[in-house]
């Protein structure tokens, strides 16, 4: 005969329950899934190392219990955070979205997560942002562009964290690099428009450092192709606008350029968004594209082929940048050799109706 519980005391539960305010543990998940705690860890951290049946049971137990791994505790024991930090100038600029999506997908497939930071185009927040990121010891850092701050460069080198610089090209990266040459883009676009018979060629350029370099080589190439322009880059009409660029800056840029030189017959825009603004303003002004004015953008954004006329643009393979960068960072985080630490993904000019 069982002893009655003393009055005033709650019965002892027959099944284990988490105390109020305490979170379920790996052992709780293992008990519900009917597997060993080690199998839970493997299923959560390296799903390819367990059978589909164990993976399914662990996932069901995690969902049932609302379990969330303690990443801090796991990171301290394994010295791995399974977190990669990416720094982009802006999250409102559609040109970086393809890279971010590919990076996110490639990391997730290997059990890593992405933390995203926004530095701005003037790099005023980049050093403070990097300090915060390094302090959290991610397994890798992706930078958009080449690190220009000496302080930031020293901190990244001293941290020992794998770094991939993207969206640019140099033979002296901090660690690894996946990108392309802005100088070559400027040269290629100038040559393309010249081959198309355009002779009064102008540009609407953002004021960030990469766009400035690209536009400088664009102008220098035009001067070489058209000796009659002289040697002063100012002979190539240019409207410089603040980054990030917008549809409105494209419309205003076209008005400004035509006020300076009504005979302009081609414009290179440093983004597809600005090029869309140029097309809209040309329509409003009764200027025929491409008969009177050729327009070329940069980025090959999803809407570019659906514009009227469809936009000629410079295609950057953001998917290749994101996927390659993720693979390089993960390999380094897992102590594997990266045979090609510098990758040039190149670019292509996608010719459509606007030229």
Residue 342 has pLDDT above 60, yes or no: yes
Range scoring the smallest mean pLDDT among 69-73, 302-306, 346-350: 69-73
265-301, pLDDT tens digit by residue? 999 999 999 999 999 999 999 999 999 999 999 999 9
Q: In 3-state terms, what secondary structure has residue 163?
A: strand
Percentage of residues in the chain having pLDDT higher than 90: 68
- Provide the pairing of β-strand 176-179 with 342-344: parallel
Domain annotation for the chain: domains and CATH numbers: 26-66 (no CATH), 81-180+318-345 (3.40.50.2300), 182-315 (3.40.50.2300)
Confidence label for 71 from pLDDT (cuts 50, 70 and 90): low
127 backbone dihedrals φ, ψ, rounded to 5°: -65, -45
Q: In 3-state terms, what secondary structure has residue 68?
A: coil
What local confidence, expressed as pLDDT, does residue 49 receive? 85
pTM over 0.75: yes
- Provide the pairing of β-strand 348-350 with 312-315: antiparallel
Report angle CA 182, 217, 87 to the nearest 5 degrees.
25
| More confidently predicted of 249 and 43 | 249
Which H or E element spans position 343? strand 342-344
Nearest CA among 10, 284, 318, 340 for reference residue 144: 318
What local confidence, expressed as pLDDT, does residue 252 receive? 98
CA distance 341 to 162: 11
| Range 168-195 average pLDDT | 97
Residue 12 has pLDDT above 60, yes or no: no
192-224, pLDDT tens digit by residue? 999 999 999 999 999 999 999 999 999 999 999
Confidence label for 73 from pLDDT (cuts 50, 70 and 90): low
CA distance 124 to 348: 32
Residues 215, 205 contacting (CB under 8 angstroms): yes
Token code pair at residue 350: 């996608």
Token code pair at residue 71: 């990443």
Residue 121 has pLDDT above 50, yes or no: yes
Residue 20 CA to its chain's centroid (Å) = 42
Residue 78 has pLDDT above 60, yes or no: no
What local confidence, expressed as pLDDT, does residue 185 receive? 98
Q: What is the DSSP string of 255-316?
A: HHHHHH-TT--EEEESSHHHHHHHHHHHHHTT--TTTT-EEEEES--TTGGGSSSPPEEEE-
**Helix, strand and coil in the chain, % to nearest 5:** 45, 15, 40
329-341, pLDDT tens digit by residue? 999 999 999 999 9
């Amino acid at each position: 005969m069982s002893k009655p519980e003393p009055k005033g005391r709650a019965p002892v539960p027959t099944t284990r329950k988490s105390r109020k305010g305490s979170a379920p543990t790996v052992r709780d998940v293992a008990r519900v899934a009917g597997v060993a705690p080690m199998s839970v860890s493997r299923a959560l951290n390296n799903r390819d190392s367990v059978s589909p049946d164990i993976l399914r049971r662990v996932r069901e137990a995690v969902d049932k219990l609302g379990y969330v791994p303690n990443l801090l505790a796991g990171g301290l024991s394994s010295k791995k955070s399974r977190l990669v930090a990416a720094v982009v100038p802006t999250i409102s600029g559609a040109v970086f979205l393809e890279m971010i999506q590919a990076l996110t997908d490639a990391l997730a497939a290997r059990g890593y997560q992405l933390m995203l930071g926004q530095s701005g185009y003037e790099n005023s927040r980049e050093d403070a942002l990097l300090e915060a990121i390094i302090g959290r010891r991610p397994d890798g850092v992706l930078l958009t562009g080449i690190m220009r701050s000496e302080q930031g460069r020293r901190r990244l080198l001293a941290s020992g964290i794998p770094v991939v610089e993207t969206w640019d090209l140099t033979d002296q990266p901090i660690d690894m690099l996946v990108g392309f040459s802005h100088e070559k883009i400027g040269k290629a676009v100038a040559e393309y428009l010249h081959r198309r018979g355009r002779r009064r060629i102008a540009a609407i350029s953002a004021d960030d450092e990469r766009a400035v370099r690209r536009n400088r080589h664009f102008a220098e190439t035009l001067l070489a192709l058209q000796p009659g322009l002289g040697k002063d880059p100012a002979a190539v009409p240019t409207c410089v606008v603040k980054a990030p660029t917008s549809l409105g800056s494209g419309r205003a840029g076209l008005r400004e350029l035509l006020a300076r030189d009504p005979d302009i017959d081609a414009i290179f825009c440093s983004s597809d968004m600005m090029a869309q603004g140029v097309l809209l303003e040309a329509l409003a002004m009764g200027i025929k594209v491409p008969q009177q004015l050729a327009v070329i953008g940069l980025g090959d954004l999803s809407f570019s082929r659906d514009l009227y006329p469809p936009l000629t643009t410079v295609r950057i393979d953001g998917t290749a940048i994101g996927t390659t960068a993720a693979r390089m960072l993960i390999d380094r985080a897992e102590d594997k050799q990266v045979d090609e630490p510098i990758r040039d993904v190149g670019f292509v000019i996608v010719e459509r109706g606007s030229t």
